[in-house]
Amino acid sequence: MFLQVLYEGLTMGTIYALLAMGIALVWGVMNILSFSQGEFMMVAMYITFFINLATGWDPLAAMPIVIVTMFLFGILIYRTIIARALKGPVLSQRLVTFALGMVLTNGMILLAGGQTKSVPDKLISGTISLGSVAISKEKMVLVVTSIVVTGLLFWFMNRTKMGKAIRATSQDKEAAGLVGINTQTAYMIAFGISAAIAGAGGCAMTYSYYFMPNIGTNFMIFGFIAVCLGGFGSIGGAFIGGMIMGIIDLFTGTYLSVSYKYMAVSVIFLLIVTFKPKGLFGR
Amino acid sequence: MRLKSVLASEKGFVRQVVIVMVILALIPAISRGEFFVSTLCLSVIWAIMGIGWNVIGGYAGQVSNGHAMFFAVGAYVGAWGLKAFHMTPWITMWIGAALCMLLAFIVGWPLLRLRGHYFAISTMAIVECVRIICTNWDLIGGATGVSFFEKEMSPFYTLQFQNRVPFYYICLAFMLAFIIISRVIQQSKFGYYCRAIKANQDSAESAGVNSTSYKRWAYMISAAIVGIGGALYAQYIQYIDPVSLLPLSNSMLIVLIVVMGGIGTIWGPVLGAFIMTFINQYARALFNQLSGLNLFIYGVLCLIIVLFLPKGLISIFTNDKVKGVFKKNKESGKEAE
Amino acid sequence: MKKLLAVLLSVVMVLSLAACGGSDDKKETKALAAIFEDIVNNKHDDSSLPFAADEGLPGLGGAKIEFVFGDQSTPEIALSEAERLITEEGVIGICGNFSSATTKTTMVAAEKYGIPVITEGTSMSLTDAGYEYYGRTLPGDDVFIDNTFAYLDYLNENKAADIKTVCLISEDSEFGANIAKVEAETAEKYGYEVVENIAYNKDATNVTSEVLRAKQADADVVMMSSYAADSLLFMQEFKTQGYFPKMLFGQRGGFMASDFALNLKNDSDYVLTTSRWNSDIDNDATREITKRFSDAMGVTLIGDTLIAGWDGIVLAAAANQAGSTDGDAIRAAMAEGVQIDPATDPFGLEGYKYKEKNGQNEFGTAIIVQYMDSQLATVYPEGSASAEVQYPAKGWSER
């Protein structure tokens, strides 16, 4: 039982982590608290669903398309909305993403209806039994996706020119501009990548989730908390924060009280920020 | 006379108050239809909450995303007072406000030290805790909520009216009081220090401003006003439960209304509340055929206003220095509606 | 023109706050309302539904009926919409709320204006509130849950089912919390042991802990109350954890929704739920309305949708009988007993007599249905059963 809970906690953690990394990237680079990240995930789920409906492709096969589409979608949103919002006050930026979330959710209701949807006949399904632990293959898809995405993200941010430019911009915008980095492009790519992360996450989540247009809202606050736990917009911190959240969620839920499990997450978060106001790994 | 000199120095403000109040007081003359008057009542209640939020969010610059908590406390106290003890909301709303202040004091202790996004997220987390407590606390109705329906007592005692026009005027009176309080805060030393903290907390502190204390007071006042808004809302809707009082969207709506109207201004929250509530209510009635269309339009409008009018709708009226123009614009604005 | 109103159940969201009371979709309710409008307002000689032979309502000089729709996503919206429909659309009655929370605010408006309301929120708090203009055609939680346990007794006696323990899983808003309360009381009354009582968060991001706890408790029967999205999440997780109890019993809500079988396909098999009505009930009216509906919408009609429209027909019949559209007259006709020809009644109820005290129809009955090959089949009471119950359920690996 203990091992099972631990495994499930880590699985759930990868979902929170995927969400949190997207939020952390936008937060770290352009200091926006993005309320629409959960909705991006929802949009990705529906894109996967529509691809499946039209061509019968499995979500895994559709994933590259979904990621690219979401990347472009992110850039579109950046160009039309975020770039303009960045000129305004911080609060407006946050509200813009909230309003965007509202538009996406209700737009999806208009487009696809409010009913629950799912992707049928998945390529990988079933359960592997390892002693007392039942490992669901559907959830493994999520875990693997999350690890691959995190790995790619780290490689991108640390090894590529664009990644370094984004990091430089997030540390000091003016200095980055002075050494010849086009900060606007860096912002745009960062926002696009954040949407692409949501794309990968949403696509993988269709493997083990049923979804409706408002699914993003339920996850949002936990994404934020995970980012805060990790500390000031750092991507690695967000990943670990997400993992911690997943484990707290499952262990309090299973061993203490189901009703109060989200309260446990919130209380632990409040305690941590009270005593370490910059998060666990804050600089 | 001091009052006289105050009035003289506040001539512009007094004129604005009189104009707006007269317009708002005469609106029910257009139509006494229940839906219209209800929408007016909702607008005023949201305006009160916006004014309350504006004290901490607008003046002191601490963007709380968790004011639904105070809204709910006010509503619960008002509801239970009437249901269990037959106490009139006229009394219980002050108890609720006091409780909100106490809660703000306790919660503010750790939270107000946080800055920026951290503060916003922490307030959201607190609301989440309050929601879970309310849902599981059977003593206050738990998930079933509180339904209170008093037919026997006088409507002026219970604030539950058959036709809501009197209720509208009561709410309007509260709004007037809070607008004046808001103005007093804005003009006082307290408001000045709050703005200094908003502009730059570190330099305000180095100039000797006790930022923690000022922020805490702003937070408490803000909580009390929102609590009274909650008490009025409870009598408006006559049924409350945690699901409808404490979702994240309620906290965000308060912020949205203030920012739409004009953050940190006296009239911004009022303008925002009226316009957004009317759009919301009538869009729903109008676009009944297609699920989601009304909120889609609402969201798009919010996007447009936030993007193109970062200082809020009020900036349409105040971009000219001449105060006299304000009056003219305001009236033409009303006609356009 | 006389109007009838349905404040309808919708899955519309308000600022992302989902408030779907039961399981329905706006489109389905609208399609059903259109069918009923057509039947009542035009002459249909071959139809076995009420008022088919006449044009309009004979008692009101051939007045036509019209369903007007409102939104009931949240209690606040339900209140606003009820006020709008009453004062601006001039409706004579309200039907179609599924969630008890929105019914309570709808009642605020209805009581003020003396407009009768017939809706099917099951919470006991509705009949206990002392509303004057409230009516509920089918039973509340007490009867549904009493039926459930009586059925367990029946299985123990007749099928040697050997059921002793129960695990309760319910969502934590007004709907699930009330059911959990009644379930715990009724289980005690019938002598079943409640080994686990789980109240989970309505907007849960995952239900793994909940399922692990249920799995560990390993009760004979798992009783659940969930909305559509949660019920699917639970079924998914049950499968992932390789756990299926001998009997999984839902209390309507998500388990009755058309989304349930649509998404789960054969994974929905063996799930039982209490229900208001099922399309396999053996009478002409049922056959006709089921056919008309599936012709129009292409999906099987479910009980929760049918009752939303049917309550409107009952209101119309009450007005017809009273010969007046006055709220008090309609309410009086409801209290006295609305005469509906049993041959035209898909529910086959003995009568429609709404108690003056609390609005409950004295003759409301419930049925129990089970998913078999992803279709709902009635299994209880014996008189209306169309299939033998499949018990115990097969585990996931044996299917």
Q: Is residue B7 part of a domain?
A: no
Q: What is the structure's pLDDT at B176?
A: 95
Q: Residue A259 and residue C200: Cβ atoms within 8 Å? A: yes
Report CA C353 to chain centroid distance, whole Å.
Answer: 19
Mean pLDDT of C317-337: 90
Q: Which residues fall within 8 angstroms of residue C241, CB to CB, at 6 or more apart?
A: A134, A136, C208, C211, C212, C215
pLDDT digits (tens, 9 = 90+) for A33-64: 999 999 999 999 999 999 999 998 999 999 99
The answer on pLDDT for C21 being more than 80 is no
Sort out which chain C residues have CB atoms less than 8 A from A101's CB and list them.
16
Confidence of residue C25 (pLDDT cuts 50, 70, 90): low
Q: Is residue B5 part of a domain?
A: no
Which of A125 and C191 is assigned the larger pLDDT?
C191
* Arithmetic mean of pLDDT over chain A: 89
pLDDT digits (tens, 9 = 90+) for A133-162: 888 888 899 999 999 999 999 999 989 999
Residue of B nearest to A276 (CA): B114
Q: Is residue B28 part of a domain?
A: no
Residue of A nearest to B127 (CA): A266
Distances from the Cα of B124 to the Cα of A13, A247, B251, B257, angstroms = 20, 21, 8, 18
Q: Which two tokens mark A166?
A: 């984004």
Q: What is the structure's pLDDT at A233?
A: 65
Q: What is the structure's pLDDT at C65?
A: 84
Mean pLDDT of C313-341: 90
The answer on pLDDT for B1 being more than 70 is no
> A2-275 has which CATH code?
1.10.3470
Residues 309-328 of B with CB under 8 A from A: 310
Interface test with B, best of C68, C112, C125, C230 (most B CBs within 10 A): C112
Number of domains, chain B: 1
Contact with chain A for residue C18, Cβ under 8 A: yes
Confidence of residue C253 (pLDDT cuts 50, 70, 90): confident
Sort out which chain C residues have CB atoms less than 8 A from B281's CB and list them.
80
Q: Residue C14 and residue B249: Cβ atoms within 8 Å? A: yes
Comparing CB atoms, the residue among A115, A117, A253 nearest residue C209 is A253
Mean pLDDT of A12-25: 93
Mean pLDDT of B256-285: 91
Contact with chain A for residue B126, Cβ under 8 A: yes
Say how far apart CA C139 and CA B255 lie, in whole Å. 43
Mean pLDDT of A17-42: 92
- Nearest CA among C66, C94, C392 for reference residue C219: C392
Contact with chain A for residue B88, Cβ under 8 A: no
pLDDT digits (tens, 9 = 90+) for B222-244: 999 999 999 999 999 989 989 88
CB atoms within 10 A of CB A3: 11
Q: What is the structure's pLDDT at A132?
A: 80
Residues 42-81 of B with CB under 8 A from A: 57, 63
Domain ranges for chain C, please list them: 4-138+281-344, 141-275+367-398
First to last CA, chain B: 41
Contacts across the A-B interface (CB distance below 8 Å) = 127
Q: What is the structure's pLDDT at A283?
A: 54
For B155-169, C156-170, C343-357, which range has the lowest pLDDT when averaged over its residues? B155-169
Contact with chain A for residue C228, Cβ under 8 A: yes
Q: What is the structure's pLDDT at A232?
A: 64
The answer on pLDDT for B277 being more than 80 is yes
Q: What is the structure's pLDDT at A282?
A: 61
Q: Which amino acid is it at A100? A: L
Comparing CB atoms, the residue among B125, B136, B299 nearest residue A99 is B299
The β-bridge partners of B239 are B147
Report CA B78 to chain centroid distance, whole Å.
Answer: 17
Which of A132 and A213 is assigned the larger pLDDT?
A213
Interface test with C, best of B31, B139, B146, B244 (most C CBs within 10 A): B244
Mean pLDDT of C2-10: 38
What is the H or E stretch that residue C169 is in?
strand C165-171
pLDDT digits (tens, 9 = 90+) for C179-206: 999 999 999 999 999 999 999 988 888 8
- Cα-atom radius of gyration of chain A, to the nearest Å? 19
Architecture label for domain C4-138+281-344? 3-Layer(aba) Sandwich (3.40)
Using CB atoms, which chains have 3+ pairs under 8 A with B? A, C
Residue of C nearest to B250 (CA): C15
Interface test with C, best of A210, A221, A250 (most C CBs within 10 A): A210
The fraction of chain A above a pLDDT of 70, given in percent, is 98
Q: What is the structure's pLDDT at B333?
A: 42
Sort out which chain C residues have CB atoms less than 8 A from B288's CB and list them.
69-71
Comparing CB atoms, the residue among C200, C204, C213 nearest residue A254 is C213
* Arithmetic mean of pLDDT over chain B: 87
Q: What is the structure's pLDDT at C5?
A: 41
Reported ipTM: the value is 0.90
Contacts across the B-C interface (CB distance below 8 Å) = 104
Distance from the B153 Cα atom to the nearest Cα atom in chain C, whole angstroms: 14
Q: Residue B310 and residue A88: Cβ atoms within 8 Å? A: yes
Contact with chain C for residue B147, Cβ under 8 A: yes
Ramachandran sector of residue C162 (left: φ over 0; alpha: ψ -120 to 50; beta: rest) = left
Comparing CB atoms, the residue among B125, B129, B292 nearest residue A109 is B292
Domain that holds residue B311: 14-23+36-330
Comparing CB atoms, the residue among A5, A116, A219 nearest residue C205 is A219
- Nearest CA among A191, A202, A192 for reference residue A50: A202
Asked if B64 and B254 touch (Cβ cutoff 8 Å), the reply is no
- Please work out, in degrees rounded to the nearest 5, the angle formed at the alpha carbon of residue B255 by the alpha carbons of B253 and B261: 100
- Nearest CA among A81, C131, C16 for reference residue B298: C16
pLDDT digits (tens, 9 = 90+) for C333-381: 999 999 998 889 999 899 999 999 899 999 988 899 999 998 999 998 8
The answer on pLDDT for A177 being more than 90 is no
Say how far apart CA A190 and CA B285 lie, in whole Å. 40
φ and ψ at residue A44, rounded to 5 degrees: -60, -40
Q: Which two tokens mark B296?
A: 């889609």
Mean pLDDT of B270-289: 88
Mean pLDDT of C80-102: 84
* Angle subtended by helix axes A137-159 and A2-30, to nearest 10: 30
Distances from the Cα of C231 to the Cα of B116, C253, C264, C300, angstroms = 38, 9, 10, 19
Contact with chain B for residue C77, Cβ under 8 A: yes
Mean pLDDT of A104-114: 89
Q: What is the structure's pLDDT at B319?
A: 63
Q: What is the structure's pLDDT at B182?
A: 93
Q: Which two tokens mark B78?
A: 């008002």
pLDDT digits (tens, 9 = 90+) for A217-265: 888 888 999 988 877 668 888 999 999 999 999 999 999 888 888 899 9
Report CA C84 to chain centroid distance, whole Å.
Answer: 25
Contact with chain B for residue C193, Cβ under 8 A: no
* Angle subtended by helix axes A215-230 and A261-275, to nearest 10: 30
Residues 134-173 of C with CB under 8 A from B: 172-173
The fraction of chain A above a pLDDT of 90, given in percent, is 53
Strands C247-251 and C271-275: parallel
Sort out which chain C residues have CB atoms less than 8 A from A134's CB and list them.
240-242
Domain ranges for chain A, please list them: 2-275
Say how far apart CA B86 and CA B275 lie, in whole Å. 35
The fraction of chain B above a pLDDT of 70, given in percent, is 94
CATH topology (fold) of C141-275+367-398? Rossmann fold (3.40.50)
The fraction of chain C above a pLDDT of 90, given in percent, is 38
Say how far apart CA C137 and CA C153 lie, in whole Å. 26
Q: What is the structure's pLDDT at C298?
A: 84
